[in-house]
Homo-oligomer: A and B are copies of this chain.
Amino acid sequence: MTDFKVRASSGTEYPIQPLPQLEQVQLQGMLDWLSAYGADPQGGVTRLLYDQAWCEAQYALAAKMQEKGLTTEFDQSGNLYGTLHVKGSEAEEGMEEAPIVTGSHIDTVVHGGKYDGAYGVAAGVLALEYLQNHFGAPKRTLQVVSLCEEEGSRFPFAYWGSRSITGVSVLEDIQHLKDQEGITFAQAMRDAGFGPDSCYRTASHTYGAFLELHIEQGQVLERLGHSIGIVSDIVGQKRFSITVSGEANHAGTTPMLWRKDALAGAAEMITAVRSIALEAGEPLVATVGRVIAEPGFGNVVASRAVFSLDIRHIRQESIDRCWQDMLQAFSRIAAEQQLGLNWEEHLSVTPVPMNEQMTTDIRTICEVEQLSYIHMPSGAGHDSQIFQPACPTSMVFVPSQDGISHNPLEYTAEEDLMKGFRVLVQLLYKYGYGS
């Protein structure tokens, strides 16, 4: 975090109240415009990394950034940057100064909504335009990034945008991955005009700070009636596949006491997952979303049952303790019912606390702007968890109607979008224009 210094606000300058001509910002309009790229005939948006809709959207955004007065640049991964340089400096110098960056991703899930990721990108572009229009060139370089990929919807790999910028991942690690049509990651990247043979610079990039504005994708803000969620931590996750083994038997001829019913065992385990999670209390969540019983006939006792397990919390020790409690319950149930038990860990992500100073600054803005806010964890993963270890990072949530996301019905009201925008503008002003 050595690159990051919070600029003290200079008296009445910050936060600016009221922000001038804020009503002229067309945030919803820009989201509607962007959602035409990859619009599905049946509603919703599909833009997968390096596909045609994605390419068109990213190039259209570059043109839009230029139109708004920003200097644009792509990197080899396909991340797009729009920069607002300090007064009189050249573009190259601006880049070297470890800019204050905002943004998010423009890829979507299949049949996704028009807010997830896109909100943070559109808000970033419009925030930089607004600041330039009203306050001129900043004292520190400001930048918006349209990250190439976060969802992992095309290739079995997520956060490519932020991972390639921070150097957490390099192309060599993933170039062999294939999409559903058998196209390799490297090939898809090349076909889209990016990659090491392209004319673009490497993705590696040093940020002074990163702020991501995002829809909540949950119901907490809506239910509790708050406008702004200041993300305290991005949860860690562990994901498992649990396999219970028994014996296939005739449902009519096998007495209950002689059965080794894999599904009966799995059901008791899934019930235990819920009760252990409830007992652990918030913010722990544990989910079994998938279960398969084999052979899967109504008149045959199941020989095998496989279920998924997803555990999340903001503290690693809580995730580990919860998993140990569950594993103990699973083992007891398996022993009682004479069943075999196996598990495989698919994913382990460490929790990431957001930057404290940025959290304090955002809270101050919310108080002065009289925006109703809460501090809350993010239960979903985001690019911010990749940036935080590399630079001071924070996230701001706005409400998602009915908590719906990854769905064409995803929606956030203009008013709520604009409240998040005000927070973004104030923070960028503080870090970019503060003395």
Contact = CB atoms under 8 A, between A and B. Distances in A.
Nearest to A305: B291
Interface stretch (A181-189, A196-204, A262-270, A367-375): A262-270
What is the total number of copies of this protein in its complex?
2
A271 interface: yes
A223 to B, nearest CB: 7
Contacts of A264: 270-271, 273-274, 288
Nearest to A380: B252
A403 B250 CA distance: 8
Given A261-B274, A270-B264, A253 B217 contact: yes
A298 B239 contact: yes
Contact of A278 (B256, B284, B287): B256
A58 B365 CA distance: 87
Interface residues of A, number: 62
Contact of A252 (B235, B250, B252): B235
Nearest to A269: B267
A250 B218 contact: yes
Contacts of A378: 252-253
B263 A282 contact: no
A218 B254 contact: yes
Contact of A282 (B256, B287, B301): B256
Contacts of A293: 288-291
A403 B255 contact: no
Find the residue from A251, A261, A296 having the highest chain B CB count within 10 A. Answer: A251
Given A250-B217, A267-B270, A403-B253, A289 B285 contact: no
B405 A285 contact: no
A403 B274 CA distance: 36
Nearest to A239: B298
Nearest to A293: B291
A331 interface: no
Nearest to A277: B256
A379 interface: yes
Contact of A287 (B285, B289, B301): B301
A302 B289 contact: yes
Nearest to A218: B253
A300 interface: yes
B290 A296 contact: yes
Nearest to A267: B270
A156 to B, nearest CB: 13
Contacts of A405: 250, 253
Contacts of A274: 256, 261, 264, 267-268
A310 interface: yes
A249 interface: yes
A283 interface: yes
A154 interface: no
A403 B300 CA distance: 13
A393 interface: no
A258 interface: yes
Interface string A40-62: 00000000000000000000000
A251 B298 contact: no
Given A251-B312, A271-B264, A290 B285 contact: no
A287 B268 contact: no
Contacts of A282: 255-257
A219 interface: yes
A233 interface: no
A254 B220 CA distance: 8
20 contacts: A217-B253, A218-B250, A218-B254, A219-B253, A237-B252, A251-B310, A252-B378, A253-B378, A255-B285, A257-B278, A263-B291, A264-B273, A264-B288, A267-B268, A287-B301, A289-B296, A289-B297, A290-B298, A291-B293, A298-B308
